[in-house]
Amino acid sequence: MATKNINLALAVGLLSATAAFSAGPAFAGDCPAGQAATSDIQEHPSKPVGVVDTVLSAIDLSSKGEAWKGNMLRLRKLVVQPGGVVPWHEHNVRPANILIVEGSITEYRSTCKVGIEHPAGDVTAEFGQLAHWWKNNGKVPAVLYSADVLPPAMHDDHMM
């Protein structure tokens, strides 16, 4: 009888956990449920405002083979002042990982009707057909670290 009760308890626990993870609010960094857009409906800032973008390190990946020739692996620190904007840009050829370390920042994606809040500690992967811009709607500077692969065609692109 004790084994039957343990099995029942495990089954109920497993179902409860499954239900908790399959329903409910969106995870941090996701477009909230019901807010996905199928076409771009937002205005896009085209110039940075109140942003200091510092390249901390860059590695030429050319030695890794012909496919990597001219690509750079970069690590950058971005400090976005309150009201500051990282302008509209795409990630179809420039994958990146972003870590928010101080403050918070709002991301505006072409595939979401509302802004997505990213608090300190949040990490977001940027790749594929993602197009977006960021704004610091808070009262303190937002500090982000960005690690990206910069293709040769973008070496002179200052659109972040």
- Quick one: DSSP state of residue 112? B
DSSP symbol at 128: T
Kindly report, residue by residue over 115-155, the tens digit of the pLDDT.
Answer: 999 999 999 999 888 889 999 999 999 999 999 999 887 76
Where do the structural domains in the chain lie, given as residue ranges?
A: 49-154
Question: Residue 149 pairs with which residues in a beta bridge?
Answer: 73
The CATH class given to the 49-154 domain equals mainly beta
Summarize pLDDT for 34-62 with one digit per residue, the tens. Answer: 988 876 656 789 899 999 999 999 999 99
Q: Note whether 150 and 112 are within 8 A (CB).
A: no
Of residues 20 and 100, more confidently modeled: 100
Is 80:106 a contact under the CB 8 Å cutoff? no
pLDDT at 44: 84
pTM: 0.76
